[in-house]
Structures are given as C-alpha cells and as structure tokens.
Amino acid sequence: KVSIIMGSTSDLPVMEKAAKVLNDFKIPFEINALSAHRTPEQVEKFAKNAKENGIQAIIAGAGMAAHLPGVIAAMTSIPVIGVPIKASLDGMDALLSIAQMPPGIPVATVGINGAMNAGILAAQILAVGDENLQEAVIEFKEGLKEKIVKANEELSTVKYDYKTN
Amino acid sequence: KVSIIMGSTSDLPVMEKAAKVLNDFKIPFEINALSAHRTPEQVEKFAKNAKENGIQAIIAGAGMAAHLPGVIAAMTSIPVIGVPIKASLDGMDALLSIAQMPPGIPVATVGINGAMNAGILAAQILAVGDENLQEAVIEFKEGLKEKIVKANEELSTVKYDYKTN
Amino acid sequence: KVSIIMGSTSDLPVMEKAAKVLNDFKIPFEINALSAHRTPEQVEKFAKNAKENGIQAIIAGAGMAAHLPGVIAAMTSIPVIGVPIKASLDGMDALLSIAQMPPGIPVATVGINGAMNAGILAAQILAVGDENLQEAVIEFKEGLKEKIVKANEELSTVKYDYKTN
Amino acid sequence: KVSIIMGSTSDLPVMEKAAKVLNDFKIPFEINALSAHRTPEQVEKFAKNAKENGIQAIIAGAGMAAHLPGVIAAMTSIPVIGVPIKASLDGMDALLSIAQMPPGIPVATVGINGAMNAGILAAQILAVGDENLQEAVIEFKEGLKEKIVKANEELSTVKYDYKTN
Amino acid sequence: KVSIIMGSTSDLPVMEKAAKVLNDFKIPFEINALSAHRTPEQVEKFAKNAKENGIQAIIAGAGMAAHLPGVIAAMTSIPVIGVPIKASLDGMDALLSIAQMPPGIPVATVGINGAMNAGILAAQILAVGDENLQEAVIEFKEGLKEKIVKANEELSTVKYDYKTN
Amino acid sequence: KVSIIMGSTSDLPVMEKAAKVLNDFKIPFEINALSAHRTPEQVEKFAKNAKENGIQAIIAGAGMAAHLPGVIAAMTSIPVIGVPIKASLDGMDALLSIAQMPPGIPVATVGINGAMNAGILAAQILAVGDENLQEAVIEFKEGLKEKIVKANEELSTVKYDYKTN
Amino acid sequence: KVSIIMGSTSDLPVMEKAAKVLNDFKIPFEINALSAHRTPEQVEKFAKNAKENGIQAIIAGAGMAAHLPGVIAAMTSIPVIGVPIKASLDGMDALLSIAQMPPGIPVATVGINGAMNAGILAAQILAVGDENLQEAVIEFKEGLKEKIVKANEELSTVKYDYKTN
Amino acid sequence: KVSIIMGSTSDLPVMEKAAKVLNDFKIPFEINALSAHRTPEQVEKFAKNAKENGIQAIIAGAGMAAHLPGVIAAMTSIPVIGVPIKASLDGMDALLSIAQMPPGIPVATVGINGAMNAGILAAQILAVGDENLQEAVIEFKEGLKEKIVKANEELSTVKYDYKTN
C-alpha cells in the first residue's frame, strides 16, 4: 500500500496524478493532508505507524520551504518520494528543500510538479518484490512508446516543399 | 534566555558568533545540537518545553535542506531566528529552505552564515520588554560607527598624486 | 504597537495581510508609505522616533533592490521584519537585498510576499513580554490545524477504485 | 543486489560512499563505470539485463549534463537512484539534468554528491520486501542519533560567562 | 539533408521554426518524434543509420532534463544541434542539460526555444562544402538588415517635442 | 543631445520611458533601431560619429544575449547606459550580458526594463556641466516625494479596528 | 572631482582599481569609508553636501545586501556609479541590490568587482564637458588595443604541427 | 582550416584544448587574440575576410559578458562555435551571453570551459564534406570507450566484502 500526503488541498490537482497512476497499477493507496508545520504531531503519528499500517512507500508533495517529505523520512524507514510543488520561484525553492537532504535521511526526489513520476517510482519500488507488478511496470513503459508512434503520425501531416517524410 | 540550536557541531564555527554576541550583551543562553532529521523527538521535546524552560527566543542554524528552524517554529510560539549555513550551493539551498516558510509559521531569517546578526536580532527581540537591554543595543549600534572612523583613518594613509584627502 | 511600512501603495495588497493578522491579534498598528529612496528624510525621522512613539516592532515591505527594511534597521534598535515583495525576478532580488544584510544590522526576513508571516512574527515578538498575547499566538497556531482537518475531509471525497480511505 | 554505476572513475571518491553504506548493510553490490555518451551500447546491455542479473536497484552518479541515470531508467523497470555530482556550476546542472525527468521515466534523485543517501535509499527500497533489512535500516537511523549525543557532549565544553548549559 | 527530431509533438510549435528556415533555404529535411526515454531503441537506430541515410546535420529539441540531443550525439559523428525547450524553470534546466555535455561528445547548443537559429546553423554547417548554399546564407543575413531599416521607419513616426529625428 | 538605441521596435514600449523622461527634461534626443548582430556596420558608423554628431550620452536597450550596449561602448568614449530588456529568463540573461563587461569598457547598467532610470541617469550625466539641468534634476527628485505623500493619503483610508493612523 | 566610497576597508583591494584609473586620468578624487547601515547620518551629510564640495561623480562599492550606492543616489542629483563587491553568493546578491533600483533613482551599475570600469565610467562622465579629458579617454581606449597586439605575439610562440600562424 | 579566437591570452589554458584536438585530427588551424571590445575593427576585418582566407569554422572563447562569438557570427556566414569561459559567476554569465543569441544569428554553444568539445564539433562540421575526416571522428569516438574499459579495470581493484565484481 502507498500513502500520498500533501500539505494542503491546493496541491491536489498536482498530486492527483500520482493517485491516477497508482490506481491504474491497481495498487491500493490512501490520500491525506498533513502539514509538517501545522500538524507536526499528526505527521509524527502517521510516520511512526506507517509500517505497521501496511504502508510500503510514501509520496509526499510540498511547495516553498518544502519540509514535509524530509520530516516524514526522518521518522520512518519506509522509502519516501518527494514531489517539489511549484508555488513560488518556479518551484526551485521546493526542489532544493526536498533534494538537498543531509547525510542519513534520503528523500527520493522527482521533478517539479512530477507527481505522475512519483506514482510510477512507487510502483517500481513495490515491484521489487512483486513479479506481477513488475510485469505491469514493464507494460506501462511499453505503452509510452505508443504516444511517440502517434506523434510521428501527426508529424507526417506537417507539409513543407522540402520535407522528405 | 536564548537557545542556540545547530544540526551538527560542524556548524559551531559559524554559530558561535551568535554566542559571542549574546555573551557580550550579558544575555544568558544555552547551546545544543539537535537535528530535525536525526533526533526529531528531542527537537519536539525541546520546542514544546522551551517556553516553560524560560526560553524567549531561539536561534537555529542549518545547512542544505535546512528544516531545523522551520520544524522548531512549527512547535512553539517563541520567535525562531533561522541562520542559513553555507554547506552547498553557496548557501542558497539553506536560505530558501528557511526563508520560504508557508503562511502561518514564520521564521525570522538572517543572511547566509549570519549568526552574528542572529545574536543581535535576539537581543533586539528581548529588548522589546527590557529597557536596560534596549540601552545596550543602542550602544552596540553606536559602537559600529567606530569601525568606520577607524576605516577612514586607514584610508587616509592611502596615497595617490590626485587623491585629495 | 507595530508599524507597517511600504515603499508604495502598489504593495498594499501584499502588505495588508500583515495588517489583517495584527488586527486579529488586537495589536494596535499604523500603516505608512515611506520610501528609502524617495523620502529618505522621512524614513530617518520615522526610524529615529519610532521607539518614543511606542513602536515595538516594524514590518517593512519592499521589492526589487529592496533597501527600505535595511535602511530602517540601521537607524533604530527596534526589531525590523523585512518582507521581500515580488516585483521582478520572481522576488529573488528583493529576498537577497533584504536577507543578506552585513554584520551588525539584522533584518528578520520572511518569505517572498510573506506579509502574513511578518504579522505573526511581530505578534510573537511582542508576546515575549506579554502573557495574554502569547496565549493568543498559541491559539492561533492551534487554529492552523483546523484547516488540515477540513482538507482531509475534502480529500475523503476524492474517489478511486484503489483508494483505501 | 544493487548496482552502482558511474560515468568515470573520477566520480569514485563520491560514489564510494554508496558502496560503504551497502557494505555496512551487507547488501551485495557491484560497481561499474559506464557512460551514457561514450558507451551507449554497454549502458543498454547493462540496463536491459539488469533484472535477470538479479539487480533490484541501480545507483547511477553523473556530473554536468548528467544523462546516465535517466538513460538507464528509460531502459529498465528497476528503480534508478540518481546522484548529481558536483563537477561544474556547483552541481546545479547535474541536479536539474537528473531530477527534471519527463513524465513516464522517474529517477529517484538525491542531493548533490549525496551518494551516502543513495546507498541508504537503496537499502530502504530493498527492505520493502525484506524484514531483516528493514530492521537494519531502523537500527541505522537509531545510530544517527548517537552522533548528536556526542555533538552535545562536545558543545558542553564550549565555555562562555553567560552560557547556562 | 537535415533531420529535425523532437521528443513530443507538443514541441512542434517551437521546432517548426527550424523547418521553415530549412524550407526557405531549400534544404531537404525530415521531421520525426523520438524520445530518448520512451523509445531509446528507435533513437539508437536513427542515430546509427543517420549517416548512411544521407543526414548531414541533426536538430534535436527537448525540454526539462533534455537528454535527446546528447544521447543522439553519443551515437553518431554527424554534428548535432540542440534546442533547449522552455517547459519548466524558464528553460534553464533544458539549457544546462544540453549545453553542459562532458568532454568528447559536443552538442551545438542554441538559445532557449531557439529553433529558428538551429535551422540557420544547420544551413551554415551544410554550406561549408556548398558554395550555392553559402551564397544563400549570406543573402539571408543581408535580409536581416531590412527589418532594421523598417524598424527605423516606424521609429520616425514616434513624436516628441525634443525628439530630433 | 542623447541618443536612444534599441535592437528592434518590439523594445519600444520599454525604451519609450527613457524618451518621455528626456522630453520632460527638455533634453534633445534621437531614437534609432540598430542591431549589434544584424547591422554591425551601422552600429560602428553610429558609434564612431556619435561625438561629432553632438551626442553626449547613449542609452542602449537590448534583450537576451544583449551585446548592443557593450559593442557601442567599445567604439566610443561617450558614456553608454545599458538597459537589460526582459525577453527571456526574466531578463537575467540581458542583465549579465550588459553588466558583466570586461575591464576597460564599462557600460552604466540600470535594472531590468529600467528605461525610465536610464533617462534620468542620462540627465544626471548631462547635468554635470549644466547648472540649469542640475536644477531640473533636483526638482525632479523632489517631485518623487509627492507620490509618497499621496500614497499616505490613500493609506489613511484603509480602515481596521486596531489601526491607529 | 570624484568621490570613491566603500562600506569597509576590506573592500579597498577591489575599490583601489578605481583610484588607480582616476589617478592615471589625473582626475582629483577622495576616498572615504561610509556605511549605509552603520553611519547613515554621515552618508546623508556626505551625499547632501557632495555637490557644493565640488564632487561631480560618486563611485560607491558594497557587497551582500549592497544598499550604499542606492542610498547615496537617493540623496543627491550627482550620478552615482555602483560597484557590486563579491562577498557572498559570487556577488550576485550585490549585483541585484545595486542594479535593480526602483523607478526614479538610477545607479549606474558596473560588473561584479568592476571598480576599474567604474573609474573609467567616471572619467567618461566628467569628459562630457571637458575636451581634454575626452582626449585622454580616447587615448586610453586606444591603449587597450596594445594588450591584444602583445597577446597575439605571445600566441605566435604556441607551436603545433597543424598550427598555421 | 579552423580559426581559434580568444579575447585575451589568459584564456589560452582553456582554449588550447581545442587546438590539441584539431592538431590530433590533423586539421590546420590558426590561433589569434581578438577582443570584441578592445579591437572591434580587427574583429570585423577578421570576420569579413575569414571565408576568403579559407576558414571553414571559427571557435571563439570569451568570459563574463562574452560578446566575441556573437559579434563574429554577426559578420560572417561561417559557423561560429562559442566557448563560455569561467571568469565570474561560475561561467553562467558567459554561457547566457553566448547561447541566448537573438533570432538570425546563431552561435553553436558548447559547455562552460568546453574548448575540447569545441574542437571536436569543428571537426564534425568539417567532416560533413570530408569522408576521411568523418572516419577520423568515428575513430575518435571509438577511442572514448577505451577510457571506460580502463575505468572498469580500476574499479575491479576496489574491494568490499559485499562487492560482487
């Protein structure tokens, strides 16, 4: 099971892309709003009980001085995936606040607003010990190629005198 | 009383400048190493008991994804002064991780490696309700001018044919 | 009493968030427009008389090469809270112009456009010597949690086949 | 089993921290030099055979326009951990080249030169399906606290007239 | 012949400017969508056969962690022109991911969204061994001056009391 | 006389602010479009004849890799004021391309899109040898204060229960 | 007469390059240490009396949150040349704090640590009304070419089999 | 024939890497020092005569506000390769001043201090119409793999208990 955490519901449009991916992979997941700064006790309770609640990977999104992923990672041994959310400075503040963790407490950081990739990464992590899921991940990656095939079809309709394909 | 917190003793050479200032102002202070990521429980215990332990202002220094000041600020109503420590990216990661706090949980951020200023700011905060300390702060600011007077004396020894002073 | 200063009325929509917070805390405050560059004499007069006018903390907002907070801080022993206003370069110029003060003259910098946090920080500073206000700050921080509770309620309405909560 | 990949042996001093961590966790690992740009065929061969060679997680370090982690991630369903190496621009070019992956191909990015954290993250990922390893990770995190205890002991030797602890 | 490659059709509005320029120069060209991450095999096949397919220069556009130009450059001796596409962080991530290539594998990088310049550069490269094309490039550069002449005519209509031209 | 130069008429909305200021100061000026890259010969002719054409200061605006101000400064002894125009990367590329001139060839750089300030600076430079213009500059600076007075009047209409002014 | 101002004598090694240039041009100048933050009254006194003290241009250097040039510019109609001094963040904080002045108060900004260029710019400004000085500036610029001639001589000693010059 | 240009001989240690590569490829080349700012006439003369002097590609290196590559590109139809030299701001100013050229005048930009890659790119460009040189480029790229083989041999000497290769 995967847990998706966000600091406020304003992050939902971004973070929902992770939910969609997990749903497509048929991986059970929960979504919660928890704030490292507003509800530190809940964050602690959540992080410390995550393992015995069957959570295997945590996806945490936050913007600005984005402490949530790092704070959760400090309190659990479950892998934490951090999603820097673009709220100011084009998301650069969140990227640095999440990626630049000190030695000892890693956060698996994805790109700015990269919640879809966070979902895929969670699936890849769960797939380490799950052959079926691994198959599904491989299939998913195959599926990405179809978009390119389609893209090429679109491009074949672009017409120029000196275009040769 | 002021509490100086740092994530590791490698930050001591920077953070000690805050200690020196407080000592000069004769403000009692304590120094502790606490890590938002390695000892979250101690951080919590420290932050929640700070007020009843007589702490009136907290100076917290941290580098990289510098969560310590923000995490403490989330758990106390005492003003928290954040010192971004230059450990990577010229300290820009720490500056953003400390200054860009979300609405509701301010951290009073000083410049990169600006622990001396953090000490002065703590003194200014304590002086709000303490006439004697306020006098001392005013005197301190007066003292800064002397350096400039001295600087001008040094500059008068710089000689050029067309220098007129 | 707190004084809110801004360089031009175009900053009012941002800076008014500080006013709102102070009003909620029932802290008397004044709002003035003063420019470090256009009315340096008024800035000086304001800063030098602030203490005897009963001001206990100053909130100063400015954008671009944001000198106002630092210039005021140079002329008073009252704590100055600086609000970097986003007017160009995503506010990065203002953040650096306010935070990177030289040794001796601290400005308590909050995040870009962080006027609400500036108001809260002013309240925290005044609360150092005021038990009632301290209670109010603690209550305010408690109130922040309610938003998260509400957020979680909203999230419970998000439906996916594999969502477990 | 984990595979540590680097683009050149000049990255060894950084990447060896990952090896050390894995060794401490008693996780079998291999180290190889492979370049996305100089030996693309080997990279492809490596990535495509990784799973059947028993690799469960890949740690790939690269500097500058750091394509190695992303290129490997494109050719395997195994989770790839990217380590941005500081070779120019303070490592910012490598951080962005690794973290900002397009939708579909995540790389679990750690901080600049953060190979130690990459090792820990690999252990956390393998521990998802391995109770013993999970115990070891929890123990490791406990061990981090001891450093802080030691740090506090060191700090108790710092003496100031107004220091109270 | 020139080959224009892009990672997805969403880049077409930018990359089409290169097509237009090549068409104006009457240089035959093809346009294809290929993704370094989604279709690595096709990229490899394309790059390795480019020369015998008569390709003399490749224009590759990509955004974010833009690996496509570098990955192609790694697999061919034909000059590769990289176009950083603005998709996040104002295009700075793409610029660094393309320009900062390691020693051995150059990519001829143009400005952010600079596909028109990529087309001109391709023409300049093909013109090295083609006198007619060289004439066309010289003519093209002459044509740029006309815009300025026109611009000056427009400016002559701007009226001020103290404007002298 | 002052000469206002821009690389293309698309810069006119920004650069016209300089024209307006000069017109208000009753300083004769001309406006021309000249491109360092498209019409280098005209730029050279302009720069070399500027002095004997009675030009006393040059205002040159350019965006992106903004070479125009520096190239003109290389070919004349008249002071050149550079205006970085925001065309990409928030204008940071233009700011660095104009300000970071090598030793020997200064450009007097103003802020991003700061054409109004460029006009004022030109007036200040011409005023060095012109008492009347100096008076006008002093008056102009006085005029800036009126805006602040007005701003304060507006602020007096902002009402809060705890607002004291 | 030109006045060189710096915030502290630690800036002298950089700022002295301006002195050297002015001395070479036989332009009388003074050097003073004045701090916008530590001695605001002296700064004010200096700026307001500059004109009647015969100052025609002011060169002000400062690092970090570099307010000195802007604060002086706010209090005089004499042109102010700002030199961003590299003290932190590679000098980027000082560059932005000096260049990004609000409308109404320009500072003629040179490059980071560009005090030599500040001296030349001051000479160019004074030369607007001084034929002799203008000659000297033209001669100075001619002199710059000699370095390149010398450089080419050095380069002719570099030997390679395929080097043709 | 290729022409290597640099703004000053201080750039020689960087730019000589381009010379070395060209020499290895047995491509005749010349090296000259020319400054866009100090010797604009020579730059013009060089650029305009380059073609009839048999130059087929130009490699131009410059630091800071690096105008040289763009200024040369404006005056010739020969492809110009720009090398941003790290002289300040980690080379970011030079990278932007070279890469961000306006539409119409491309510069083929390589990485910061990437003169070796500039040499290879020049070889690739000349190879477009030269089968023998193309063979040499392909061989060169093959040679890059040997370094990796060697690297792997070195890595096989790294010993850990749990290292499996």
Are D70 and E99 within 8 A, CB to CB? no
Minimum Cα–Cα distance from A94: chain B residue: B97
Residue from B37, G86, B25 nearest D148 by CA? B37
pLDDT surpassing 90 at residue G41: no
Dist. CA G10–CA G21, nearest whole Å? 19
Q: Are chains A and H touching, using the cut-off of 8 Å on CB pairs and a minimum of 3 such pairs?
A: no
The answer to whether D60 touches D36, Cβ cutoff 8 Å, is: no
Dist. CA B134–CA B118, nearest whole Å? 16
Average pLDDT over residues A45-69: 96
The answer to whether D122 touches D59, Cβ cutoff 8 Å, is: yes
User: What was the pLDDT predicted at H136?
Assistant: 96
The answer to whether G93 touches G64, Cβ cutoff 8 Å, is: yes
Residues forming a β-bridge with E57: E2
Mean confidence (pLDDT) of chain H: 94
Q: Are chains B and D touching, using the cut-off of 8 Å on CB pairs and a minimum of 3 such pairs?
A: yes
Average pLDDT over residues D99-117: 97
Q: Show Cβ contacts of residue C19 under 8 Å, excluding neighbours closer than 6 positions.
A: C4, C29, C31, C119, F158, F160, F163
D19-53, pLDDT tens digit by residue? 999 999 999 999 999 988 888 888 999 999 999 99
Residue from F41, E100, E17 nearest H103 by CA? E17
Pick from H113, H141, H165: which is nearest to D31 by CB? H165
Are E160 and F23 within 8 A, CB to CB? yes
What are the residue ranges in chain B where pLDDT is below 50?
none
Residues of E in contact with A92 (CB under 8 A): 89
User: What was the pLDDT predicted at E15?
Assistant: 97
H81-113, pLDDT tens digit by residue? 999 999 999 999 999 999 999 999 999 999 999
F18-44, pLDDT tens digit by residue? 999 999 999 999 999 998 888 888 899
Percent of chain E with pLDDT over 70: 100
A143 at E interface, C-beta within 8 A: no
The answer to whether C28 touches F162, Cβ cutoff 8 Å, is: yes
User: What was the pLDDT predicted at G146?
Assistant: 82
What are the residue ranges in chain E where pLDDT is below 70?
none
Residue B24, min C-alpha distance to chain G (Å): 19
- Does the ipTM surpass 0.90? yes
User: What was the pLDDT predicted at B143?
Assistant: 86
C65 at F interface, C-beta within 8 A: yes
Are G97 and C99 within 8 A, CB to CB? no
The answer to whether D55 touches H165, Cβ cutoff 8 Å, is: no
List the alpha helices (DSSP H) in G128-162. 131-156
Pick from B77, B99, B114: which is nearest to C110 by CB? B99
What is the pLDDT confidence band of residue A121, given thresholds at 50, 70 and 90?
A: very high
Residue from H114, A101, C40, E98 nearest G73 by CA? C40
pLDDT surpassing 90 at residue A152: no
Reduced to 3 states (helix: H, G, I; strand: E, B; else coil), residue B119 is helix
User: What was the pLDDT predicted at G162?
Assistant: 92
Pick from F79, F103, F138: which is nearest to G128 by CB? F79
Cα of D13 vs its chain's centroid, Å:
13
Using CB atoms, list chains with 3+ pairs below 8 Å to chain F. C, E, G, H
Dist. CA F113–CA B25, nearest whole Å? 46
Dist. CA F143–CA F151, nearest whole Å? 13
H29-41, pLDDT tens digit by residue? 999 999 888 888 8
Residue G144, min C-alpha distance to chain H (Å): 6
- pLDDT by residue for chain C (165 residues), tens digit each? 999 999 888 999 999 999 999 999 999 999 999 988 888 888 999 999 999 999 999 999 999 999 999 999 999 999 999 999 999 999 999 999 999 999 999 999 999 999 999 999 999 999 998 999 999 999 998 888 888 888 888 898 899 999 998
User: What was the pLDDT predicted at D154?
Assistant: 86
The answer to whether A14 touches A83, Cβ cutoff 8 Å, is: yes
Question: Phi and psi for H118 in degrees, rounded to 5?
Answer: -60, -40
Quick one: DSSP state of residue A163?
B
H100 at F interface, C-beta within 8 A: yes
Minimum Cα–Cα distance from F118: chain G residue: G106
Average pLDDT over residues G68-86: 96
User: What was the pLDDT predicted at C47?
Assistant: 93
Task: Tell me which H or E stretch contains A84.
Answer: strand A80-85
Quick one: DSSP state of residue D83?
E
User: What was the pLDDT predicted at H123?
Assistant: 98
Residues of D in contact with E93 (CB under 8 A): 96-97, 100
- CA-based diameter of chain G, in Å? 66
The answer to whether E94 touches E66, Cβ cutoff 8 Å, is: yes
Cα of C74 vs its chain's centroid, Å:
18
Residue A71, min C-alpha distance to chain C (Å): 17
D137-157, pLDDT tens digit by residue? 999 988 888 888 888 888 988
Are C102 and G44 within 8 A, CB to CB? no
User: What was the pLDDT predicted at A26?
Assistant: 96
Are A28 and C164 within 8 A, CB to CB? yes
Residues of B in contact with G90 (CB under 8 A): 90
G103-131, pLDDT tens digit by residue? 999 999 999 999 999 999 999 999 998 99
Are F102 and H65 within 8 A, CB to CB? yes
Reduced to 3 states (helix: H, G, I; strand: E, B; else coil), residue D138 is helix
Quick one: DSSP state of residue E32?
E
User: What was the pLDDT predicted at A84?
Assistant: 98
User: What was the pLDDT predicted at F107?
Assistant: 98
B22 at D interface, C-beta within 8 A: yes
DSSP string for chain H: -EEEEESSGGGHHHHHHHHHHHHHTT--EEEEE--TTT-HHHHHHHHHHTTTTT--EEEEEEESS--HHHHHHTT-SS-EEEEEE-SSGGGHHHHHHHH-PPTT---EE--TT-HHHHHHHHHHHHHTT-HHHHHHHHHHHHHHHHHHHHHHHHHHT---TTB--
Minimum Cα–Cα distance from C42: chain F residue: F145
Residue C108, min C-alpha distance to chain A (Å): 17
pLDDT surpassing 90 at residue F144: no
User: What was the pLDDT predicted at H72?
Assistant: 96
